[in-house]
């Protein structure tokens, strides 16, 4: 009896491990940052809706959704700095954050809606935006040194 319970929990672990993947994306303030997310498109029938949201992926949909696509085009966009620049029809639903700010740091959820119960492909991505180094942001001191 104990053995059956053990193998059942192992299966659950494997199945959740399979659907939830992720990445860490680092960038600097002012850069354009791309958070990768893809799904398999073999025929037009595979093209499907998806969303990006802030925070870990919930059971369904996206928390604090920032962008939705029906698979063919973007249907909802809550901030012009968040965009999908990849080829949607080929399953490239990577998120581009334009002119990144420190406030953009955090976890992002990519959810691809696949027909059937609990078939959605989800991935959690950590975005880390660091301040740009002072030296590159201040050429002013360099020119004043030259003149002295």
Q: What is the pLDDT of residue 9?
A: 38
Q: What would the pLDDT profile of 113-138 be if each residue is shown by its tens digit?
A: 999 888 999 999 999 999 987 655 54
| Alpha-carbon span 58 to 109, nearest angstrom | 9
Between 97 and 148, where is the model more confident? 97
Between 62 and 14, where is the model more confident? 62
Q: What is the pLDDT of residue 117?
A: 84
Q: What would the pLDDT profile of 82-104 be if each residue is shown by its tens digit?
A: 999 999 999 999 999 999 999 99
Q: What would the pLDDT profile of 3-32 be if each residue is shown by its tens digit?
A: 444 444 333 333 333 345 688 999 999 999
Mind giving me the DSSP string for 79-121?
Answer: -TTEEE-S-GGGTB--EEESS--GGG-EEEEEEE--SSTT--E
pLDDT average, residue stretch 55-78: 96
Domain boundaries, the chain: 28-130
Q: What is the pLDDT of residue 23?
A: 87
Topology classification of domain 28-130 = Immunoglobulin-like (2.60.40)
Q: What is the pLDDT of residue 22?
A: 82
pLDDT average, residue stretch 63-77: 96
């Amino acid at each position: 009896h104990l053995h059956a319970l053990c193998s059942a929990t192992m299966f659950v672990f494997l199945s959740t491990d399979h659907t939830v993947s992720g990445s860490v994306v680092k960038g600097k303030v002012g850069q354009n940052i791309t958070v990768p997310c893809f799904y398999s498109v073999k025929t037009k029938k595979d093209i499907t809706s998806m969303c990006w949201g802030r925070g870990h992926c919930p059971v369904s949909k996206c928390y604090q959704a920032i962008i939705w696509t029906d698979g063919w085009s973007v249907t909802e966009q809550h901030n012009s700095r968040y965009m999908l620049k990849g080829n949607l029809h080929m399953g490239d639903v990577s998120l581009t954050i334009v002119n990144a700010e420190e406030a953009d740091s955090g976890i992002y959820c990519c959810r691809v809606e696949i027909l059937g119960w609990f078939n959605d492909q989800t991935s959690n991505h950590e975005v880390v935006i660091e301040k740009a180094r002072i030296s590159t942001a201040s050429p002013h001191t360099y020119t004043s040194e030259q003149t002295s």
